[in-house]
Chain A
Amino acid sequence: MHEITTETLPIVDFSKLRCIKGYDELCQHYELYLCDESRLAHQGAELLFFPSNEAEISAIFTEMGKRGITVTLSGARTGLVGGAVPYGGALVSLERLNKVLGIGYDASAREWIVRAECGVLLRDLNNWAMKKTFPGLYERASNETRASLKHYKETKEIFFYPPDPTEMGAALGGTVATNASGARTYRYGATRDWVRKIRVILASGEALEIPRGKYFATPEGEFTIAHSTGVETTVKIPQYTMPQTKNAAGIFSAPHMDLIDLFIGSEGVFGAITEIEIALQKWESPVSIVQFFSSDEKAVDFVISLRKEKSIRPEFIEFYSSHALDLLRKKQAADPKVVGMPPIPDDARSAIFFDLMFDPEKKEHDYSRLEEIVISCGSSLSRSWAAYELRDLQRFKDFRHVLPETVNSIIAERKKEMPELHKLGTDFAVPDRALQEIWEFYKSKLEAAGIEWLAFGHIGNNHFHINLLPRSLNEMEHALSLYREFASKAVSLGGTISAEHGVGKIKQEFFSIMFSDRERDEMKAVKRALDPDHMLNPGNLFAL
């Protein structure tokens, strides 16, 4: 089926909705809502709303539509590309839609499904799922949901929600709107793979309920939306081919695609995603391993070999380059507690952080294949750190996070002298076959440039972040040209300019490297069909 009918929502008196008014008032007292993690300069907003249900959102959209005021949607403001930063108009914070609404077992797919509002934070969702307690759900729930909740609590297994974009303070809705991914994407895919149903409020104020597997594009690549007014809208999906990598750039498109995928990763330009049903995954106890190597290249070789070995299935494979370890060593020398790990071995010139399923109570373990691969890359399992207790798994994860935080603090220091300076961090990914080539390309260019740099991140998906740390404006210029060169190279190898951060307002310059004018026009056509007045999220994906 390619035709979907909109729902109208109960009418709410707009005049009774809580609204903070005035540019100055917002800038003075609500500045927090004008920024996100990108630190992008905002252009202020005139109105700020805090709706707590779909009907209120619908009323806001309808009224803003009548007044010709644009609307920027805001979740937990953890995005890195300015998606929630307003460029004028109204700002709608969805943080009050923060309840878990249901849980149920899908017997055909053999998976537990949680229904939650968009403002639920990933950290809470995972805590609740793993501890099997969802605050307030029992009191709110129908008898059927109560029975499911009881069943869920009685199951012996522990379940979790796999998408992990590092920032667990992110709101579920934001992660769906950006198709967030992270370290665990290596094994579990991105957010898209875990979303089973969404509800969306369109710019018109109407709602769409889109389950996965119900609405598919016609062979001509079209969907039809039947509005409550009797009007029908045809949405023609773009014809380009998506990169065969982890990707967060551009609207999703594929032959016979599912309508739900058009909204997932659309950066909120088509509507506000209000409710989401996500699937849970059985949690198995892992062991986290930081394996040290004698060079960056040996680490890359290890990743390539590890991926080929099908008997070993890590959840994630993360990289620390030689320069990244040096930076951590300096940090350890200054304050060992911040890093929270024993001294990094002197002879370690790179490291791969990964995990494996591991039952600590089992006596016999066969990791001989892993050992062979490690040895073939010039290292040994003795040159590693490993842990499986929950507190240590978190400690290893924190160790991974220290790196970007350290980079940010170095840049913040340099900015005091030179405010124009900023970090340049790539978000490019390439297909598996191109890992070695892109690494050699990056490294040769970076070493020749003489700018301070390091690499870390999701090498399992050929998506490590190159961070350039310029010390002067000259270096900054040079770093920018390198960045563009790297983007072009990644795209030429069949990759993406943004594997997980999205495009938002910050990366549009690089968007044109990946998509031609015609392809971007195809995306704009979808926007015109779903939001004819370009009311929602102005500046995201498409320049103003």
Chain B
Amino acid sequence: MKVIVCVKQVPEIAEVQIDPETGTLIREGVDSILNPFCEYAIEMALGIKRQHPETETVAMSMGPFQAKAALMRCLEMGIDRAILLVDKRFAGADTWATALTLAEAIIAIEGCFDLILVGKQAIDGDTAQVGPEISEILGIPEIMYGVGLELRNNKKKIRVTREIETGNEIVETKLPCLISVSKGPMIRSISSFQEILDARNKELRLVTADDLAIDDDKIGLKGSFTQVVKIFPPRVKKQGEIFDGSDAHAAAHKLTDFLSSRRFI
């Protein structure tokens, strides 16, 4: 059985700031991490491997050269091998061009597979579109927001517990299929130092546009139907008056004066 996990490297969201002049993300000094939902998908793949040790697990990502770090994290967690789709021609891809490139790579590089796992969305773009688009392009069933799964009928079918607004729903489909994953362990896993060292000896293959039989006008910016025109932070509501609290007594006086002047007290 072969499980392919499509992952993305994202900026650590807690630290992201937007340059007010250019409207672009300030990436300087911001760490990049494996998208948390992709990490859940990796955990799910590893769960299958624990139950069915013969399972082969592959992580795949499209991104700049630095995205190797996110794939390395997958390998440290226990994924068998990784593929990075890296080429200047892939740059500027919207969700459709990304999904098309990943789908083409899955066919061209891997050929057969039983299951594709993706995170439900990336925490930078939050579109949640790439996973479903891959399944549409490949013509396989998709189940969104998976939180648990069970292989059935001698691994010909899969039963997935998925989140819905009112609770959980259990659905079943035949393999191959694609599942987007929305929940993982409450505590992120930690690798051993041995696993960190071993990961560096695992296969991490770099694949360029030339390795894929795909037209240049279908990938990257050229192949994108949508374009990000501008990114801007939501307008900050006007803040109230802030009293200097270093002298609590004086601050309290100011506060009571303020409140009484407006007849609140």
Could you list which residues of chain A lie within 8 angstroms of chain B, going by C-beta atoms?
Answer: 18, 20, 25, 29-30, 32, 50, 95-96, 131, 287, 289, 291, 336-337, 340-342, 360-365, 367, 380-392
In the complex, besides A381-B194, A387-B191, 7 extra interface pairs with C-beta distance below 8 angstroms are A29-B248, A336-B187, A382-B192, A386-B196, A388-B196, A391-B12, A392-B190
Tell me the minimal C-beta distance from A213 to chain B in angstroms.
35
The 6 closest A-B pairs by CB, nearest first: A386-B193, A381-B194, A382-B194, A385-B190, A381-B193, A29-B249
Interface size on B, residues (CB 8 A): 25
Smallest CB separation, B180 vs chain A (Å): 24
B 180-195 binary contact with A (CB < 8 Å = 1; else 0): 0000001101111111
Closest chain-A Cβ to B87's Cβ sits at a distance in Å of 20
Determine the residue in chain B with the shortest Cβ distance to A364: B200
Tell me if B231 counts as interface (CB < 8 A to partner A): no
- Let me know if A360 and B69 touch, CB within 8 A: yes
Chain B's closest residue to A367 (CB) is B197
| CA of A387 to CA of B197, assembled, Å | 11
Prevailing SS type, chain A contact patch: loop
Question: Which residues of B are found within 8 Å of A381, using beta-carbon distances?
Answer: 192-194, 197
Contact indicator B31/A389 (Cβ below 8 Å): yes
CB-based nearest B residue for A29:
B249
Chain B residues positioned under 8 Å from A388 (CB to CB): 196
Q: How far is the CA of A351 from the CA of B208 in the complex (A)?
A: 45
Cα A250 to Cα B203 with chains together (Å)? 58
Q: Which of A25, A336, A364, A386 contacts B186 (CB 8 A)?
A: A336
If the complex has contacts A336-B186, A363-B200, are A30 and B193 also in contact, measured as CB distance less than 8 A? Answer: no
| Cβ–Cβ contact A50 & B247, under 8 A | yes
Query: Can you name 14 A-B residue pairings with CB atoms under 8 Å?
Result: A18-B247, A29-B249, A50-B247, A337-B187, A360-B69, A361-B69, A381-B192, A384-B192, A385-B190, A386-B191, A386-B195, A389-B31, A389-B33, A391-B31
Q: Interface of B with A (CB < 8 Å)?
A: 12, 29, 31, 33, 68-69, 72-73, 186-187, 189-197, 200-201, 246-249
Q: How far is the CA of A25 from the CA of B247 in the complex (A)?
A: 12
* A287 in contact with B12 given A30-B249, A391-B33 (CB within 8 Å): no
**Complexed CA–CA distance, A337 and B185 (Å):** 11
A342 close to B196 (CB less than 8 A):
no
Given A340-B187, A389-B31, A390-B31, are A384 and B249 also a contact pair (CB < 8 Å)? Answer: no
Among B73, B197, B201, residue most surrounded by chain A Cβ atoms (within 10 Å): B197
Whole-angstrom CA separation of A367 from B193 in the bound complex? 10
* Set of chain B residues within 8 Å of A340, measured between Cβ atoms: 187
In the complex, what's the smallest C-beta–C-beta distance from B251 to chain A, in angstroms? Answer: 10
CB of A347 to closest CB in B, whole Å:
14
A365 near B200 with CB under 8 A, answer yes
- Which residues from A are CB-within-8-Å of B248? 29-30, 32
In the complex, are the beta carbons of A360 and B72 less than 8 A apart? Answer: yes
Residue with the highest number of chain A CB atoms closer than 10 Å, among B29, B190, B191, B200: B190
Give Cα distance in the complex from A346 to B188, angstroms: 19
- Nearest CB in chain B: distance from A312 CB, A: 13
Please measure, in the bound complex, the distance between the C-alpha atom of A363 and the C-alpha atom of B204, giving whole angstroms: 11
A337 and B186 contact, CB distance less than 8 A: yes
A375, chain B: closest CB distance, angstroms: 11
- What is the CB-to-nearest-CB distance from A92 to chain B, in angstroms, rounded to a whole number? 15
Interfacial chain A residues near B247, Cβ < 8 Å = 18, 20, 50
CB proximity of B169 to chain A, nearest CB, Å: 27
Do residues B29 and A387 form an inter-chain contact, with CB atoms below 8 A? no
Instruction: Verify B192–A386 contact, CB threshold 8 A.
Output: yes
Which residues of the other chain, A, contact B186 by a CB distance below 8 angstroms?
336-337
- Residues of chain B within 8 A (CB-CB) of A337 are 186-187
User: In the complex, how many angstroms separate the beta carbon of A274 from the nearest chain B beta carbon?
Assistant: 19
Q: Closest Cβ of chain A: how far from B193's Cβ, in Å?
A: 4
Which of chain B's residues has its CB closest to A399's CB?
B190
In angstroms, Cα B204 to Cα A360, docked, is: 14
User: Taking the nearest CB of chain A, how far is it from the CB of B213, in angstroms?
Assistant: 30
Once the chains bind, are B190 and A341 in contact (CB under 8 Å)?
yes
- Give the distance to chain B from A96, nearest Cβ to Cβ, in Å: 8
Set of chain B residues within 8 Å of A341, measured between Cβ atoms: 187, 190
- Whether the Cβ atoms of A384 and B197 lie closer than 8 Å is no
Q: Quick one: which of B31, B72, B190 contacts A387, CB cutoff 8 A?
A: B190
Q: Which of A29, A50, A384 contacts B193 (CB 8 A)?
A: A384
Give, as a whole number of angstroms, the nearest-CB distance from A337 to chain B.
7
Q: Which B residues lie within 8 Å of A50 (CB)?
A: 246-247
- State which of A336, A342, A380, A392 has its C-beta within 8 Å of the C-beta of B194: A380
Query: Min CB distance, A68 to chain B, in Å?
Result: 27
What's the minimum C-beta distance from B101 to chain A, rounded to whole angstroms? 25
Q: In the assembly, what is the distance between CA of A365 and CA of B194, in Å? A: 11
Whether B190 contacts A386 by the Cβ 8 Å rule is: yes
List of A residues within 8 angstroms of B246 by Cβ: 50, 95-96
Question: In the complex the two chains form, is B193's CB within 8 Å of A287's CB?
Answer: yes
Q: How far is the CA of A363 from the CA of B195 in the complex (A)?
A: 13
Could you tell me the distance between the alpha carbons of A310 and B253 in the complex, rounded to whole angstroms? 62
Interface pair B192/A383, CB less than 8 Å apart = yes
Q: How far is the CA of A266 from the CA of B102 in the complex (A)?
A: 64
Who on chain A is nearest to B190 by CB?
A385
Cβ distance A363 to chain B, nearest Cβ, rounded Å: 5
In-complex Cβ contact of B249 among A20, A363, A364 (8 A):
A20
Q: Taking CB as reference atom, which chain A residue is nearest B69?
A: A360
A340 to B195 CA separation, bound complex (whole angstroms)? 20
Complexed CA–CA distance, A390 and B29 (Å): 11
Q: How far is the CA of A342 from the CA of B31 in the complex (A)?
A: 23
Q: List A contacts of B191 (CB < 8 A).
A: 385-387
Q: Is the CB of A342 within 8 A of B187?
A: yes
Measured CA separation A337–B193 after assembly (Å): 23
Which B residues lie within 8 Å of A30 (CB)?
248-249
Nearest Cβ on chain B to A36's Cβ, whole angstroms: 18
Residues in B neighbouring A287, C-beta threshold 8 A: 193, 196
Q: Give the one of A95, A337, A365 with max B CB within 10 A.
A: A365
Residue from A95, A96, A387, A392 whose CB has the most chain B CB atoms within 10 Å: A387
Complex: A30 Cα to B250 Cα, angstroms:
11
- In the complex, what residues of B have CB within 8 A of residue A391's CB? 12, 31, 33
